[in-house]
Each structure stands twice: as structure tokens, then as C-alpha cells.
Amino acid sequence: MTKLLRPCLLALAVAGCTTVGPDFVPPPAAAPDDWTSWRSADPSLAAPVGQALPADWWRAFEDPVLDQLEQRAFAANPDLRTAALHFAQARVQRGVTEAQSGPQVNLSAAVSRQRQSENAAGSRLLRAIAGDNAQPLIEFISEPFTLYQAGFDASWEPDLWGRVRRSLEAADADIERQAALLDLARLSVASEVAQNYFELRTTQRQIRLARADVAALQERVGLLQARVRAGVVDQLDLERQRAELEGLQAQVPPLLAQEGASANRIALLLGEHPGALRAELQPPAQDTRAALPDLGAGLPAEVARRRPDIRAAEARLHNATASIGVAQADLYPSIRIGAHAGLESYLGGAFTDWASRTWSIAPSLDLPLFDRGRRRGVVQLRELQQQEAAIAWQRTVLQAWQEIDDALSGYAAERQQEQGLAARARSARQAWELVQARYDAGAVDFTAVLDAQRGWLQARRDLVASQGRLGTRFVAVNKAVGNVPPASRE
């Protein structure tokens, strides 16, 4: 008994003392001291630096419809729900892995009715010993009987080399990765809802603008028709104005189709069927645009920590590093300790007697000797996967700073363009009014009126488009810096 317990005691003493494989060291943040030193755009496109943006950044637009759409998307978006399930699966898998560190105990019970063969191998031995007198004993042994069995079986494999500890480390890293991917899904959903919403509102503004222009040109055609009948203007001026009217009317149907497509994309993000959001997405009674805040990119290290894709890449690297230790632990011997305690009897009345007890202790040693390099090949494979994860992390960081630079520069450029287009629209309107007055006075021909009219209409359309792009640029900045909306994972 003592000799059998010695390997068990030795395993208990050694267990937990050794963990093979490299320890994970978080990679240093590859970031500049100031984001402006890592940029390719012209210095004139430097974004203004102000207070940090809130996590619910879409509220800066002060649009209750957008706020409601975002909340509905967080609750019902299919991709977001899938990411949440992946996170839950990672947590459950961690529990499955942790269970390997403790003993496994099973309860078994059985009742069997059986009969032994009179010509079994044991009968041969009885005949050799007892000769002709063995037959009565063989017949007795071969009579049917009922066997009652019950007991506990326990087994435990001490974590001598840290295989389970490294597996738990890898599982924890996978939880962090899935949490980061869940944050990335939330950020992507919030960004896509806002972008499609701005595209929808911009299209609706363009439709409203086009219809107002059509109504104005129709009124102008009516006035020209009256002047033609009175002989004041030439028929040519009327036909030119009609051509402009037809061209403007032809722009409305594509805008209507674009409006429907944007609404469908929003519905899909909310897990709804086409047309389900028709009432919510009706054009507002009047256009209201909130002033967007100044942007602050924050410190580079803060940006690197906030980006979900960088966190996911780092967690993947951590998982790959821990997996090397799991593979290396398989190169070393393992010990499994088994034990059984129970009752066994062919007499039902004596089943619970102390004499019916059975027990066994069975430590076993597994020493890998030759597997044609399979285990070492697995170690090499895990090391290569770690190198791949390190490269992926580096590329993710570089891509993050590229996206930050592009987003901030694009936002600054769009702000400047929007201001210029607003001034252009004001000047184009004044020019059209002046040319119209001169035409009425007979100082210029109708060609000048058409040119001024085209310039004013185009300036208004360009301004509306730029204002819509400014909203999407603001969304792109929040996505680039990893401004994840708050969420509860309870």
C-alpha cells in the first residue's frame, strides 16, 4: 500500500511547481508621442484638438430618431447577437478547460444476470486438479446467478508541466479576444447605422431640394409661356427652360431609389424586413443640423488600448504564446492516479455487508518515447503560429494609425470644404438674382440666366452632399479611434 502511494505523493509534491513554455509579455505600443508626427496629409488639414468624445458619440447630432435606431440595433442586430454568443461560448469553454485541473469522479451501479460456460478456461484447470470429481463443482459454478455492483471511480492527472495552466491562460486570452470582437461589433453596428442614416437624410434633403426646384422651374416655365404668348420673349428661351426642367425632374427617380436602399440597409442592421421602418424614417418637417464638436485624438497609448481590433490582435498573440506551453507539456511524462471503491456481491442480502467492499488504487505513468516527431512538430507549429500572430498584431497597429490619420484628415478637409461650399451657394444665389434682374431689364440674354441658374442649383446640391459627408466623416473618426459604445455583458 505504501509503495503504491509513493508515486501519488511525489506527483502531489511536483504538481504546480513547473510551467513550461514562454511567458507572454504584452508588446509595446507602436505609437508616436503625438499623432501629428505620424501623418501623410498636408498640415493645413490638421484636425482641431478638443475634449475627448463621449462613448455615445452619435448623440452629438441631437437627433432622437438616430438615438432610437442605435438602441434598437444594439438589441436586435444579428451580427452583434452572434458576437455576443461567441463571447459566451469562450467563457463556457474556459470553464470546460478549468475542469481538467481537478479530479474526475464517477458513480456507477449495475445489476447483471449471468451464467458461466462449463467449458471455459477455468473449467480446464478444475478438471486437471480434481479429475472426474470436478464435474459437480463445474456444474455448480456454471449455475446462473445475479451480480450486484456499485461504486465510485476517481481519476486525476497532476498538472506536472503546466499544461492545464497554459490551457487556462489561452482560454482567458480567447475570452479577451471575443470581448474585443464584441466591442468591435458594437462599434461597427453603431457606425453603419449612423452612416446609412446620414446617407438617407442627405438623399431626402436632395429629394426635397430637387422637388422645390422643379416647382420653381415649373412656375418659371408658366411665366415664360405667358411672355411668349405676349410676344415679349422668344420661343427659344421657353424651350431652353423646359429642357432644364426635364433634366431636373429626371434626377428625382434615382434619388427615390437611393432613399429606399438606404432605408433597407438600416432595416437589415436592426433585424427588420424591408419597409418596417417606413414611419420612423419619414423626412423630418424641417432640416436641423447640430454643430459637431471639435475632435481630440487623445494620447497614442490610449488610442491603442481603445481600438477593439488591436485588443483582439494582442489577445490572439497571447493565446498563441500560451498554446506553445500546452504543446511543450506533451513532450514530458504524465502521471494519472486512478482509484475505485465500491461494493460487489452475488447475494442480494449481503450486498451492503462490509465483506462485499472492493477498492483499488492504480497510478499509471505515460512516458512518450517515439512518435516520429509528432509532438515536436506540434510545438514548432505553435511557434510559427505565434510569429504569425505577432505580425498580425503589428499590421493591425499600423493599419489603425493609417485609419486614424485618414479619418482625422478627411474630417478636417470636409469641414473646410463645407464652409467653402456654403459661401459658394450664397454667392451663386446672389449671382442668379443679379442676372435675372438684368435679363428682366433686357441687359443680358437668357443663356446667362440659365448658366446662373445651373450654378445656383448645383451649388445647393453640392452643399447638401458635403453636409451629409461631414456626418459620415465624424462617424469614421469615432470608428478609427475605437470609440466603443457602452454595453453590459451580464
The residue extents of the domains of the chain are: 18-102+161-332+376-480
* pLDDT for res 74: 94
Place of cell 462617424: 475
Higher confidence at residue 30 or residue 418? Answer: 418
The helices-and-strands tally (H runs, E runs) of the chain is 12, 4
Convert the pLDDT of each residue in 305-355 to its tens digit: 678 999 999 999 999 999 999 999 999 998 999 999 999 988 888 888 888
Average pLDDT over residues 401-409: 86
CB 313, CB 305: distance < 8 Å: no
Mean pLDDT rounded to a whole number for the chain: 86
Q: Is the pLDDT of residue 271 over 50?
A: yes
Average pLDDT over residues 283-303: 64
Average pLDDT over residues 279-287: 85
Order of strands, edge to edge, in the sheet holding 104-114?
Answer: 104-114, 145-156, 334-345, 357-366
* pLDDT for res 302: 64
Question: In this structure, what is the dihedral angle of CA atoms 436, 442, 447, 453, given to the nearest 10 degrees?
Answer: 0
Using DSSP's 3-state secondary structure scheme, residue 339 falls into strand
Q: Is the pLDDT of residue 490 over 50?
A: no
* Other Cβ atoms within 10 Å of 479 Cβ, number: 23
Higher confidence at residue 6 or residue 24? Answer: 24
* pLDDT for res 91: 95
Convert the pLDDT of each residue in 15-51 to its tens digit: 456 889 899 998 887 666 666 667 676 766 665 554 5
Question: What is the pTM (predicted TM-score) of this model?
Answer: 0.83
Q: How far apart are CA 166 and CA 329, in angstroms?
A: 9
Using DSSP's 3-state secondary structure scheme, residue 24 falls into coil
Q: Is the pLDDT of residue 228 over 80?
A: yes
Q: How far apart are CA 408 and CA 483, in angstroms?
A: 14
Convert the pLDDT of each residue in 449-489 to its tens digit: 888 888 888 899 999 999 899 999 999 988 988 888 887 44
Q: How far apart are CA 82 and CA 1, in angstroms?
A: 54
* pLDDT for res 12: 52
DSSP for 211-270 reads: HHHHHHHHHHHHHHHHHHHHTSS-HHHHHHHHHHHHHHHTTHHHHHHHHHHHHHHHHHHT
* pLDDT for res 3: 55
Average pLDDT over residues 120-126: 78
Q: Is the pLDDT of residue 443 over 70?
A: yes
Q: Is the pLDDT of residue 95 over 60?
A: yes
* pLDDT for res 173: 96
* pLDDT for res 86: 96
Stretch among 133-142, 212-221, 267-276, 451-460 having the lowest mean pLDDT: 133-142
* pLDDT for res 8: 52
Tell me: domain 18-102+161-332+376-480, CATH 1.10.10.10, correct? Answer: no
Q: Is the pLDDT of residue 181 over 70?
A: yes
Average pLDDT over residues 277-293: 79
